[in-house]
Amino acid sequence: MRLLHTMLRVGNLQDSINFYSNVLGMTLLRQKEYPEGRFTLAFLGYGDEKEHTALELTYNWDTDHYDLGNGFGHLAIEVDDVYRAAEKIRAAGGKIIREPGPMNAGTTLLAFVADPDGYEIELLEAKI
């Protein structure tokens, strides 16, 4: 068994594709419209879906925003240097919601960024 993908519902598909592609460096792997169901699916990731977990963005044509609720936590992405990654994301127009630094009560270096819908993405510095 392996984890195939994580799905997020988004209010503006193109804004979300641009964020995950241009700000976080993912590649759009595939996209398909379902006119009868009035939705579009877009899959993004850092490598081929046969070997890497993907992010599925679901755009329901009649919905422009969602209540994120309080059950979802965050996505996590490993980066080589959390400070450099945060600056690169900021320069690309990304919103840093927790500046880089050590985690509370620990030494792991991390930062948080928010996507266009407000979903949180944790940047974790790779451990050497």
> For 4-25, how does the pLDDT look when each residue is reduced to its tens digit (9 = 90+)?
999 999 999 999 999 999 999 9
Predicted confidence at residue 96, as pLDDT, reads: 98
Predicted confidence at residue 127, as pLDDT, reads: 83
The domain over range 75-125 is classified in CATH as 2.40.30.30: no
- 49: DSSP letter: T
- 15: DSSP letter: H
The yes-or-no answer to whether 5-60 and 75-125 have a common fold is yes
* Closest CA relative to residue 123, chosen from 83, 73, 70: 83
Domain boundaries, the chain: 5-60, 75-125
Predicted confidence at residue 71, as pLDDT, reads: 86
pTM, entire model: 0.90
> For 76-120, how does the pLDDT look when each residue is reduced to its tens digit (9 = 90+)?
999 999 999 999 999 999 999 999 999 988 889 999 999 999 999
Catalytic annotation present for 122: yes
Predicted confidence at residue 73, as pLDDT, reads: 93
Domain 5-60, second-level architecture: Roll (3.10)
Which stretches of the chain are DSSP H helices? 13-18, 82-91
Q: Which of 33, 56, 87, 122 is catalytic?
A: 122
Judged against a pLDDT cut of 90, whether residue 128 lies above it is answered with: no
C-alpha 71: how far from its chain's center? 17
Instruction: Detail the DSSP E strand segments found in the chain.
Output: 5-9, 27-34, 39-45, 54-60, 75-79, 95-102, 109-114, 120-125
Mean pLDDT along residues 50-74:
94
